[in-house]
Amino acid sequence: MKIATWNVNSLRVRLPQLKQWLTESPVDAIGLQELKQPDEDFPAEEIDALGLHAAWYGQKTYNGVAILARQPLEDVEYGIPGFEDPQRRVIAATIAGVRLINVYVPNGQAVGSDKYVYKLEWLRQLQAYVADALARHPQLAIVGDYNIAPEDRDVHDPAKWEGSVHVSAAERDALAELLRAGLTDTFRQFEQPDGAYSWWDYRMGAFRRNHGLRIDLVLASRELADRCIGCHVDRRPRTWERPSDHAPVVATFDIA
């Protein structure tokens, strides 16, 4: 079973690339972030034509998340229960017995800003949600754009980024808390090349120079992590015409 995550940065613009990538690199399930479109614009027919089931939770202009899967989606949940949040950033579903939560963690803009405060509060809400989900679902994967680089090796120039948003201690602590609760960063279960990132700024030739961050993650519960047999970033779509600034990340599990 292959589970992927991809921040498409506008599903309207990126639909052709999504279709191409899913055709070339079939996965069993994928979490998409930053749809940037209202629910009524979701390309349901085109996704159906790919042979995929889907659930989506969008909004105009900003945010928006979706799950696509080969098998039907069961027990779809929208947002974090009990957390009133006008920003649509979370969707969950069960696929072939695996619980999949797809998240678009707030950017945070700058340390100390209102958006940073919101990001940290949002992460606290996510921690509680995840603790509950882990208790209910032994086979749990939480994929998405975390907007946090877990460690300095996930940052192209740690000295330049030190203390700033995406790497600050409070953000990394929040992510570490998720891992302590019983999740594994599947990417780090395996030997990886240096400079493996999942996002590169559109500016400054950042992709060409590999000036990136690894902020898109596939986290897995113990039971699922034990069956994980690989995880990689697929940089190819970042080389295509009019790319998303994020690349897809794919984890493979030894499950039917």
Partner DNA sequence: ATGGCTAACATGGTTAGA
Interface residues toward DNA, by CB under 7 A: 7, 9-10, 12-13, 34, 36-37, 60-62, 106-107, 109, 115, 145, 147, 166, 199, 201-204, 213, 215, 242, 245-246
CB 221 to DNA: min, Å: 25
C-alpha distance from residue 57 to each of 158, 193, 208, 230 (Å): 34, 35, 33, 29
The yes-or-no answer on residue 104 being catalytic is yes
CB 213 to DNA: min, Å: 5
E strands within the chain? Answer: 2-7, 29-33, 53-57, 65-69, 74-78, 90-95, 98-104, 140-145, 183-185, 199-200, 212-213, 216-221, 228-233, 249-253
Task: Say how far apart CA 57 and CA 37 lie, in whole Å.
Answer: 9
Nearer to DNA, 190 or 202 (CB): 202
Nearer to DNA, 109 or 239 (CB): 109
Nearer to DNA, 99 or 119 (CB): 119
CB 96 to DNA: min, Å: 29
CB 117 to DNA: min, Å: 13
Nearer to DNA, 66 or 134 (CB): 66
From the list 28, 57, 145, 216, the catalytic residue is 145
The yes-or-no answer on residue 173 being catalytic is no
Task: Say how far apart CA 56 and CA 90 lie, in whole Å.
Answer: 10
From the list 57, 104, 116, 146, the catalytic residue is 104
Task: Say how far apart CA 141 and CA 217 lie, in whole Å.
Answer: 10
Beta bridge partners of 233: 249
Nearer to DNA, 84 or 241 (CB): 241
Concatenated DSSP letters for 24-39? HS--SEEEEE---S-G
Measured in Å, how far apart are the chain's first and last C-alpha atoms? 6
CB 52 to DNA: min, Å: 21
Residue numbers annotated as active site: 104, 145
